[in-house]
Amino acid sequence: MANLLYTILIQPLVSLFSFVIDFSTPIVSLPFSIIALSVFVQLISIPLYIIAHKIEKIEKDLQKIITPELAVLKTLYKGEELFNRTDALYKRLHYNPLLSFRASMSLFLVIPFFIAAYNTLNYNPIFNNVYFLEMFNLSNPDGLLFGINILPILMTLFNLIAIKSSNPKKDLFDQSNTMLLLLSIFFLVYLYNSASALLLYWTSNNLIYMIRLIITSKSPAIK
């Protein structure tokens, strides 16, 4: 099953990522082909995220109706009666609790892109002894600040700014941002010692996404 999912969801992305790098390398240097890949991925993912956010809105709107009604039912009924009343509520709203994953649809979109980027860029031999602006070797962790890797820290910083920019009225550590914050921490820890090629991609990716969110948050008409 895992192999089938990889073949269907991940392998086409890996092939696409490799194609973009191969296509852009004659035009720009290999390090900048990684940034070109980030731009490309951001562009092709825009329609996907628009669809994902619409699906998330449907789920969140339903939860605004369901949650208070469930709270009332739980205060009035217990056991089988509560189960029957809850089931009736779901049927009235044409809702299935299994659909609750829709509230995190945009997070699920990150997973195949993450795996594809990891498999394409992390310790790929084509980046051996290739340097980004003579600053760091793409095949190794950057170690820019006395051995401390700066790219994963920048990647995380840009992501936190993006989370805040997506809803400026909410506090960064609002409960609604819990999954996004946990994902940011996961990326920081998991990718900290990865090859700079992969970190350059994710840092560029998060920077572009952050800029796009800042622009759209100030200009709702172009969202």
Q: Break the chain into its structural domains and give their ranges.
A: 2-56+103-216
For 5-45, give the secondary structure using H, E and C.
HHHHHHHHHHHHHHHHHHHHCCCCCHHHHHHHHHHHHHHHH
- Residue 220 corresponds to which tokens in the numbers above? 């709702």
Task: Return left, alpha or beta for 140; rule: phi > 0 is left, psi -120 to 50 is alpha, else beta.
Answer: beta
At which residue do the structure tokens 């051996």 appear?
128
Give the pLDDT confidence score for residue 119 in this predicted structure: 93
pTM: 0.83
Distance of alpha carbon 212 from alpha carbon 206, whole angstroms: 10
Q: What is the pLDDT of residue 144?
A: 92
For the chain, residues with pLDDT lower than 70 are 217-223
Q: Evaluate whether 124 touches 137 at the Cβ level (below 8 Å).
A: no
Q: Identify the bridge partners of residue 132 per DSSP, sorted by sequence position.
A: 136
